[in-house]
Amino acid sequence: MAAMNLSDFDFTLPPDLIAQEGLAVRDQARMLVVRPSGPFEHGGVRDLLNHFSRGDVVVINDTRVSRARLIGRKETGGKADCLIVSDLNSGEEKDVLLRGKAFKTGSTLTFEGPDGVTLSAKITQWLGGAKYKAMFSDASLIERCARLPLPPYIKKNLSEETRYQTVYAKQEGSLAAPTAGLHFTPQLMQELKDKGVVFAPVTLHVGLGTFAPIRTENLEEVELHTEYFSVNPETRNVINLALKEKRRIFAVGTTSVRCLESAMDGSWEGWTRLFIYPGYKFKMPWAGMLTNFHLPKSSLLLLVAALTGWERILPAYLEAIERKYRFYSLGDAMLILRGI
């Protein structure tokens, strides 16, 4: 069998289709429905009420995006753009990514919060590339001085940070939102529950690697980033009962899929490097997935292609582009129905 190449999973996206802000009403986003065959259907996120039925289990990722990005100044007066990539509760010394011109070990960065509080960080070690260790003057002040990290393709500051959190975000620890979940409102979730749909939360903390481009052409040689996942006992019971009763199980987002696929070997908590791309044999009999439109040649797009087939997904993306759907984290949605 010939090696599968990354360049096979490419498409051209007009830059003006990259959504820069979320809709005022989350569930008013458009939704493209992809079935195993036949024409694509065009509607809205609220049409989930017509696609989900009593007894269906909908797996959601309840991770919460941490306020981990700090914008401040170097001792020279130059700008310091700092992203904390280690646990915010791990003590005063943190692993950080620093964007900008070279930073010197021993130098101090200063950050100010909107309420006038000042936080400093001394660079203690260079770890290679843009990664350093930094000792913070008072880690308890990070929350007051920091902002949410946003994907590099979002150029506008959000008017409301909550728009980059799901309404069910609970477990602190992500550097990016599980964006398929951004389409849900409390009202829509309640309407689905009233219909008999069961929501099953899992946790996968999205790492910065989700935005890192894959640089290896042969997909069999790719080593994906590591992310923490956890499946609580209640959700385990819900999933196991649904499997026993052969009820449909849907995922909200690629992170929910990656979490449960990682857990299906019996490890309900841990760290995963699982890379899902076409040819992967799914352990969970997924009935479908709600997802956003992803970057070309990204691990997220490859997971979607594994679930549905690239020969089906590429025409769906091309039709979405033609009809000017909004792409990426704050954009519109795609509902994949596998027909199983």
- Domains of the chain by start residue, with CATH: 6-65+156-337 (3.40.1780.10), 69-145 (2.40.10.170)
**What tokens appear for 37 in the block?**
């065959």
Element (H, E) at 304: helix 299-308
Q: How confident is the model over 116-144, as pLDDT tens digits?
A: 899 999 999 999 888 999 999 999 999 89
DSSP for 248-293, written as a single string: -EEEESHHHHHHHHHHTTS--EEEE-----TT---SS---EEEEE-
Q: Look at the pTM and tell me if it is higher than 0.75.
A: yes
Q: How confident is the model over 56-100, as pLDDT tens digits?
A: 999 999 999 999 999 999 998 899 999 998 876 777 899 999 987
Tell me the C-alpha distance between 90 and 106, whole Å: 21
pLDDT of residue 1: 47
Whether residue 270 has pLDDT greater than 60: yes
Q: What percent of the chain has pLDDT over 90?
A: 83
Q: How confident is the model over 196-248, as pLDDT tens digits?
A: 999 999 999 998 777 778 989 999 999 888 999 999 999 999 999 999 999 99
Q: For residue 158, name the pLDDT band (cuts at 50, 70, 90).
A: confident
pLDDT of residue 4: 83
pLDDT of residue 212: 76
pLDDT of residue 99: 86
